[in-house]
Structure 1
Amino acid sequence: MKKEIRNHLKQKLPTYMIPNYFKRIESIPITNNGKLNRKALPEPDMNDFIKEEYVEPKTDVEKLICKIYSNVFKFQDNEIGILDDFFELGGDSLNAIRVSSMIEQELKIKINIKDILNHTVIKDLSEYIEDKMQNKDSNDILINNLEIFNNKSTQKEFPMTSQQLGVYIDSMKYPNNIMYNIPTAFKLRKNVSESDIEKIKKELMKYSENMIF
């Protein structure tokens, strides 16, 4: 039933809006005011997440990804197979950051959060990584980085970093969440003028062109 519900929602909603798990309850707890009592809802356990029939990993990359997923999602090593899906295991943007970081550390290649989110099944992600490892060597990456560095300039739009993408996805999925809000107050001298602030802004932009005010 859980699988059918998820498949139905996939046809109606973007992936980030689909719940990570489904749990059947006999009744919905409410407060004295007649509102949903979220604190009284039962916590999910491993049985609430959707897992595919176990298919053993064969390639070195498949074995590595399964091991990383087992670590991130707290499963036994032999419980995660190549048909398991990132979102169906309970994945979110923060998990994707961890997964991409661990893959980069082990394989020494650049993996973005969007790569994890675009290849949610372990088998697909493994094939993507294997293809990337075949066609991209360290010299290609160095050349690309130099081209980006030298192309400084007139660019008005900049791609998101992995961290920014993670924050964006979380804000779309949980619009009322304020976990990324960082309120800060600065006390300025009385004689600081608007032109002084403008000079500071321009100086900062020399070091970070994609800084927007």
Structure 2
Amino acid sequence: MVVQLRNAASLPTPGDHVVVVVPEAFLTGVGARRIAYARMAVPETVGFATVPELWTDATGGLDEARCREHVLADGGVNRYEPPRTPAERAIVALWQEILAFPGVGVLDDFIEAGGDSVSALRLIDAVREGFGVDLTLADLMDHPTVRDLAAEISTRGPA
């Protein structure tokens, strides 16, 4: 099932396996998930994808087949993936606190999830305090996802 995120009626029912498509000019996949969180708890069965435009069929409705084809060809589904390791869980908790975003997954990008220079500095301080690892802004940009950052922190160990 492919749905267009445009109003409450278009939101999936919990338990559905869906891909929510959003025009690229509108939002990133993470941004779409932020909107969906305001309306419902997003289960792991929901993925998000951006498309260049919302294609319509002959009746003016969403051309689900074309959207599905684009998403499958592009591999552009932004799925929530929960943390699996203690380091990933700790970093997710830090991001959720610092970014005030409850839906952080291990594949999310720090900047796309709402991070900026101030929140990056707060995260660097929190990592130093929680893990005993010194990071720089460049380190955070080089390892922008929870999974990448957890792996980098694990290789460094305490400072």
Residue type of the partner of 2:113? L
Higher helix share: 1
Query: Which of residues 90, 96, 99 in structure 2 aligns to 1:70?
Result: 96
Structure 1: which amino acid aligns with 2:116? Answer: D
1:107 and 2:95 correspond: no
Deviation per CA, 1:41-90, whole angstroms, max 9, x where unpaired? xxxx9329x894211111111011100110111122xx211011111111
**Secondary structure of 2:35 counterpart:** helix
Residue 98 of structure 2 aligns to a residue whose secondary structure is helix
Unaligned 5+ residue runs, structure 2? 1-20, 37-47, 50-77
Alignment partner of 2:84 out of 52, 58, 70: 58
1:46 and 2:34 aligned? yes
Structure number with higher strand proportion:
2
Matched position secondary structure for 1:95: helix
What is residue 11 of structure 2 aligned with on the other side?
A: none
Match for 1:97 among 118, 121, 140?
121
What SS does the aligned partner of 1:83 have?
A: coil
* Structure of greater Rg: 1
CA shift for structure 1 position 2: 5.7
1:18 aligns with: none
Q: What are the superposed Cα offsets for residues 103-143 of structure 1, whole Å, 9 maximum, x if unpaired?
A: 1110112111211111111111111111111xxx55xxxxx
Residue 9 of structure 2 corresponds to: none
C-alpha contact 1:96 1:117 (8 A) present in aligned 2: no
Cα distance between partner residues in 1 of 2:117 and 2:138: 9
CA distance in 1, matches of 2:22, 2:113: 12
For residues 3 and 126 of structure 1, the distance between their equivalents in structure 2, rounded to whole angstroms, comes to: 31
Q: SS of the counterpart of 1:70? A: helix
- Cα distance in 1, alignment partners of residues 86 and 130 from structure 2: 11
Alpha-carbon offset, residue 4 of structure 1:
4.4
C-alpha distance in structure 2 between counterparts of 1:97 and 1:2, whole Å: 31
Aligned length: 97
Separation in 2, partners of 1:81, 1:94: 21
C-alpha RMSD of the superposition: 3.0
Structure 2 counterpart SS, 1:109: coil
